[in-house]
A and B are shown apart, each in its own frame.
Chain A
Amino acid sequence: MRDFARRYARNKGAVVGLLILLLVLAMALGAPLIFPDSPWDMVAAPFMPPGEMDMLLGSDSLGRDVAAGIAHGARISLMVGAVSTVVALAVGVSLGAVAGYLGGLADDLVMRFTEFFQTIPSFVLAILLVAIFTPTIGSVVFAIAVVSWPPVARVVRAEFLSLRSREFVQAAEVLGKSRISIVLGDILPNALSPIIVLSSLMVANAILLESALSFLGLGDPNLMTWGFLIGSGRSVIRLAWWMSVFPGVAIFLTVLALNLVGEGLSDAMNPRLARKRGAAA
Chain B
Amino acid sequence: MSMTRRGLMAATAAAPVLMCVADARAQGIAPRRGGTLTTILQPEPPVLQIGVNNQGPTLIAAGKIFQGLIKFSPKLEPMPELAESWSLSDDKLTYTFKLRQNVKFHDGRPMTAEDVIFSVTKFHPEVAPRARAIFSRIDKAEAPDAHTVALTLKAPFEPFLLMFDVTACAIVPKHLFDGQDFRTAPAVQRPIGTGPFKFAEWQRGNFIRLERFEDYWKPGQPYLDAIIYRIVPDSQSRRLALETGQVMMTAAGDIEPFDVPAMRARPNLEVWTDGWEYFSPLSWIETNHRVPALADVRVRQAISRAINRDFIAQRLWFGVGKPATNPIASTTRFHDANVKLPGFDPRAAAQLLDAAGLRANAQGVRTTIKHLVLPYGEIWTRLSEYLRQSLRQVGINLELESTDAGSWARRIGAWEYETSINFVYQFGDPTLGVERTYVSSNIQKVTFTNTGGYSNPRVDALFATAREAQTAEERRAAFSEVQKILVEEVPQIWLMEMAFPTIHDKKVQNPVQLGTGVHASYDDVFLTA
Contacts and interface: CB of A to CB of B under 8 A. Distances in A.
Direct contact of A and B (CB under 8 A): yes
Nearest to A215: B378
B112 to A, nearest CB: 48
Contacts of A220: 402
Nearest to A132: B407
A216 interface: yes
B400 A222 contact: yes
B236 A134 contact: no
Contacts of B258: 61, 236, 239
Given A46-B315, A62-B382, A239 B259 contact: yes
Given A236-B258, A237-B236, A221 B402 contact: yes
A173 B301 CA distance: 78
A215 B399 CA distance: 18
B71 interface: no
A135 B381 CA distance: 14
B496 interface: no
A124 to B, nearest CB: 11
B403 A235 contact: no
A62 B386 contact: yes
A141 interface: no
B375 A235 contact: no
A219 interface: yes
Nearest to A222: B400
Contacts of A232: 378, 381-382
A239 B262 CA distance: 9
Contact of A217 (B235, B236, B316, B373): B373
Contact of A61 (B236, B382, B407): B382
Contacts of A217: 373, 375, 378, 380-381, 402-404
Contacts of A222: 399-400
Contacts of A41: 389
Interface in B259-278: 259, 262
A42 B401 CA distance: 20
Interface in B313-327: 315-316
Interface in B362-398: 373, 375, 378, 380-382, 384-386, 388-389
B254 interface: no
Residue among A41, A42, A217 with max Cβ neighbours from chain B (10 Å) = A217
Interface in A52-84: 61-63
Interface residues of B, number: 28
B347 to A, nearest CB: 19
Contacts of A236: 256, 258
A127 B256 contact: no
Contact of B236 (A127, A135, A218, A238): A238
B229 to A, nearest CB: 22
A204 to B, nearest CB: 22
A131 interface: yes
A40 interface: yes
B406 interface: yes
Contact of A238 (B239, B316, B380): B239
A126 to B, nearest CB: 12
A40 B403 contact: no
Contacts of A218: 375, 402-404
A216 B256 CA distance: 15
A126 B112 CA distance: 53
A235 B381 contact: no
A235 B380 CA distance: 13
Contacts of A61: 258, 316, 382
Interface string A19-54: 000000000000000000000111000100000000
A61 B317 CA distance: 11
Contacts of B378: 215, 217, 232, 235
Residue with the highest number of chain B CB atoms closer than 10 Å, among A61, A130, A215, A220: A61
Nearest to B384: A221
Interface string B293-312: 00000000000000000000
Contacts of B236: 234-235, 237-238
By Cβ-Cβ distance, the 6 closest A-B pairs, closest first, are: A221-B400, A135-B402, A217-B375, A221-B402, A131-B404, A217-B402
Interface of A: 40-42, 46, 61-63, 127, 130-131, 134-135, 215-222, 232, 234-239
Interface of B: 235-236, 239, 256, 258-259, 262, 315-316, 373, 375, 378, 380-382, 384-386, 388-389, 399-404, 406-407
Given A131-B407, A219-B402, A238-B239, 7 more contacts: A40-B389, A216-B375, A217-B375, A220-B402, A238-B262, A239-B258, A239-B259
